[in-house]
């Protein structure tokens, strides 16, 4: 794994630093872009990227406001227009025009919007527990924690918090939870820890009254081969939504992951195998 960063335009006209991890050979023309969920970061994909690195160049950015990337000065700027602009800037920085994209939750919505664009850069799309319809009830649940800014005495304390908030990731082992804690932590001046994302993301998330998200018109414009992974216990990607995704738009292949909610962590060898096989087709 190689850690990198580049500068991209900020909404105020300046520039900001965006971080990304790179796996595999830098000159490999087969590129996979992995985009994480709302409050997570690119290191969530370490297991998946390591498994794909022999065959692909794998790029795992920290979306602005997360991980090692800079935070935005204005909370209202957090949203899909800036996220998409930064992804396109990253591809230009890498000299890449075509990628396979794996997106978890928010990352999947970014991927869907890019795949629906005319002459977009997405060759194959993997959506991890996200679709064109997200019910209001799921957004209300996410809103309960997305704007929180808790403080933790140590990593053990932070890990216990993550195990509770992200229980939907599934039955992860201790090493995986520790990995999520280590890379999801922000060191504080007092010696404690905060979460490795800007709490102001929550302000943007709840700025408007929450309601169902309906992007079926976007979905119907997606034409690339698409794999959808659904946590069987998910409240974000409902079973009826996943079933409709299989017969509309790109007519996705849908695979349900037993014993998992929102969203499969993509650390399990079986989940990784599903993605590797799909990308290889």
Q: What is the pLDDT of residue 44?
A: 98
267 φ, ψ to 5°? -110, -15
Q: Please indicate, yes or no, whether the overall pTM of this predicted structure exceeds 0.95.
A: yes
Average the pLDDT over 15-42 and give the result.
Answer: 97
Domain boundaries, the chain: 2-280
Q: What letters, b where the CB count within 10 A reaches 16 and e where it falls short, cover 129-151? A: bbbbbbbeebbeebeebbbeeee
Nearest CA to 62 among 229, 222, 201?
Answer: 201
Structure token pair of residue 250: 């790109």
DSSP, collapsed to helix, strand or coil, labels residue 162 as: helix
pLDDT surpassing 90 at residue 208: no
Partners of residue 66 on adjacent β-strands: 197
Tell whether omega for the bond before 263 is within 30 degrees of 0, i.e. cis. yes
Q: Please identify, in words, the CATH class of the domain defined by 2-280.
A: alpha beta
CA dist., res. 85 & res. 90, Å (int): 9
pLDDT at 68: 98
Bigger pLDDT: 68 vs 206:
68
């Amino acid at each position: 794994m190689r850690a990198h960063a580049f500068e991209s335009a900020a909404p105020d006209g300046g520039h900001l630093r965006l971080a990304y991890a790179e796996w595999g050979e830098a000159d490999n023309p087969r590129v996979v872009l992995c985009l994480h969920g709302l409050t997570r970061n690119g290191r969530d994909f370490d297991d998946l990227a390591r498994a794909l690195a022999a065959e692909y160049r794998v790029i795992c950015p920290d979306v602005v406001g997360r991980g090692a990337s800079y935070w935005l000065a204005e909370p209202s700027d957090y949203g899909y227009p800036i996220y998409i602009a930064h992804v396109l800037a990253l591809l230009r920085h890498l000299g890449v025009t075509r990628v396979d994209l794996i997106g978890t939750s928010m990352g999947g919505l970014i991927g869907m919007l890019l795949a629906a664009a005319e002459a977009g850069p997405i060759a194959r799309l993997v959506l991890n527990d996200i679709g064109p319809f997200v019910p209001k009830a799921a957004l209300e649940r996410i809103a309960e924690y997305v704007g929180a800014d808790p403080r933790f005495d140590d990593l053990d304390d932070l890990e216990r918090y993550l195990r509770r908030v992200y229980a939907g990731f599934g039955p992860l082992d201790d090493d995986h939870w520790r990995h999520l804690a280590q890379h999801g932590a922000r060191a504080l001046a007092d010696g404690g820890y905060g979460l490795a994302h800007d709490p102001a993301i929550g302000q943007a998330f709840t700025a408007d009254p929450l309601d169902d998200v309906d992007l079926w018109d976007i979905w119907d414009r997606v034409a690339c081969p698409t794999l959808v992974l659904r946590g069987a216990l998910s409240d974000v990607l409902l079973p009826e939504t996943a079933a409709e995704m299989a017969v509309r738009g790109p007519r996705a292949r849908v695979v349900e992951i037993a014993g998992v909610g929102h969203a499969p962590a993509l650390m399990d060898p079986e989940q990784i195998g599903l993605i590797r096989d799909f990308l290889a087709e």
